[in-house]
Amino acid sequence: MKFNTKTIHGGQEHDPAFGSVMPPIYQTSTYAQSTPGGHKGYEYSRTHNPTRNALEKSFASIENGKYGLAFGSGLAAIDAVIKLLKPGDEVVSTNDLYGGTYRLFTKIYEDFGIKFHFIGMESASKMESYINNNTKLIWVETPTNPMMNVIDIVSVSEIAKKHDILLAVDNTFATPYLQQPLELGADIVMHSATKYLGGHSDVVMGALVVKDDQLAERLYFIQNASGAVCGPQDSFLVLRGIKTLHVRMQRHCENGRAVAEYLNNHPKIEKVYWPGFKSHPNHNVAKTQMKDFGGMVSFTTKGNNYEEAIRIVENLKVFTLAESLGGVESLAGHPASMTHASIPKEEREKSGVVDSLIRLSVGIEDEDDLINDLKQAIG
Residues designated catalytic: 46, 98, 170, 195
Cα of 183 vs its chain's centroid, Å: 17
Q: How far is CA 285 from CA 117, 278, 280, 341, in A?
A: 23, 11, 10, 30
3 DSSP assignment: H
94 touches 141 (CB < 8 A): yes
Half-sphere exposure of 105 (CA within 13 A, CB side): 24
Is residue 298 a contact partner of residue 148, using CB atoms and an 8 Å limit? yes
Q: Residue 193 to residues 83, 204, 205: CA-CA distances in angstroms?
A: 20, 7, 5
- Within 10 angstroms of residue 236's Cβ, the number of other Cβ atoms is 21
Q: Are 281 and 121 in contact (CB under 8 A)?
A: no
